[in-house]
Amino acid sequence: MRKILIAIDGYSACGKSTTAKKVAAIFGYQYIDSGAMYRAVTLFFLNHHISITNPKAITKALSEIHLSFHVNLHGQTEIFLNGANVEKKIRKMRISENVSPVSTIREVRQAMVTQQHKLGKDKGIVMDGRDIGTVVFPEAELKLFLTADIQVRAWRRQQELLEKGSLIDLDSIITNITERDRIDSSRKESPLLKADDALEIDTTHITIDEQVDEVVRLAVSRIMKK
C-alpha cells in the first residue's frame, strides 16, 4: 500500500495530537508532534537564558540543540533534547507561557522545518502543528484543520494536565490558549492558517473515536487514490 503524508493543523488544545497519535498507530505510521519541537527549543532557551531579541545568541543556541524522537515501551513517542527525555518538562505551563513568542522567530522556524522535512521524506508520517499543511508539507495527501469551542478545549487540556499530575485552573488555561492562538495566528513567519485544500473538522461535539474514525476514512480514500 502506498504511504502518504497526513498533516493536522489547528488551534491550541483542539485534539490534534490525540487524533494524530491514534491515526498513526492504526496505519503503522510515525507520529511527529511538531509542537513538541518548539516546546523543547523553548525549554533550552529558558534554561540557558537565551534572549529572544538576541539573534547571535539564538543562532548559537540553535546550533547546540539536538532534537530526536524515540518510542517508549508503551509505544508512545517522546522527544529528547540533547539526549535527555524532556517529554514531561515541555508540557508544563512555564513552557506553554513562553513557547509562542519563541515560535515567531524565523531562525527557529527554519531550523525546525529543516528537521521536519527530513522526518517526512519517506512519507508514512502523521505530523501535527500549525503550519504543516501550509509550509512544511504543502504536498501532503491529506490535510486537516481541527477546531473546537474554547471552553471544551480548555476543559480537555485541564484533564490532560491533571493526568500528568498538574492541577491548573480553567481560567489560566483559557488565558494561555487564547493568547497562544492570537500570537500563532498573527505572526509574520508561517502563521497558523487553514490551507485552502485542508478539510475542517470541528471536534466540539464529537468523541475522540468519532474523530479518529473520520480521519481514518479520509486517509484510506487518499491512500487508494491513484
Choose the stretch contacting ligand CDP; rule: CB under 6 A; options: 52-60, 76-84, 128-136, 208-216: 128-136
Choose the stretch contacting ligand CDP; rule: CB under 6 A; options: 11-19, 76-84, 117-125, 204-212: 11-19
What own/partner pairs with CB < 8 Å and gap ≥ 24 does 150-156 have?
150/174, 150/177, 150/178, 152/203, 152/204, 153/11, 153/12, 153/13, 153/14, 153/177, 154/13, 156/13, 156/15
Query: Hey, what's the cell of 160?
Result: 490532560
| Closest approach of ligand CDP to the CB of residue 131, in Å | 5
For residue 38, state whether it binds ligand CDP (rule: CB under 6 A): yes
For the segment 150-209, give every residue that binds ligand CDP (CB under 6 A).
180, 184
> Toward ligand CDP, which CB reaches closer, 173 or 218?
173
Residue 5 DSSP symbol:
E
**Sole binder of ligand CDP in the list 22, 130, 143, 156 (CB under 6 A):** 130
Amino acid letter for position 207: T
- Which parts of 34-156 are beta strand (E)? 67-71, 77-81, 84-85, 125-129, 142-147
For residue 34, state whether it binds ligand CDP (rule: CB under 6 A): yes
| Closest approach of ligand CDP to the CB of residue 40, in Å | 10
Q: Using DSSP, state whether 191 is helix, strand or coil.
A: coil
Choose the stretch contacting ligand CDP; rule: CB under 6 A; options: 10-18, 24-32, 45-53, 211-219: 10-18
**Sole binder of ligand CDP in the list 44, 65, 129, 173 (CB under 6 A):** 129
Q: Which of 25, 111, 31, 27 is nearest to 67 (CA)?
A: 111
For residue 13, state whether it binds ligand CDP (rule: CB under 6 A): yes
For residue 134, state whether it binds ligand CDP (rule: CB under 6 A): no
For residue 17, state whether it binds ligand CDP (rule: CB under 6 A): yes
- The distance in angstroms from the start CA to the end CA of the chain is 11
Residue 83 DSSP symbol:
T
| Closest approach of ligand CDP to the CB of residue 212, in Å | 17
What own/partner pairs with CB < 8 Å and gap ≥ 24 does 44-53 have?
44/81, 44/82, 45/98, 45/102, 46/94, 46/95, 46/98, 52/101, 52/102, 52/105
For residue 45, state whether it binds ligand CDP (rule: CB under 6 A): no
Enumerate binding residues for ligand CDP (CB under 6 A): 12-13, 17, 34-35, 38-39, 99-100, 103, 129-132, 180, 184
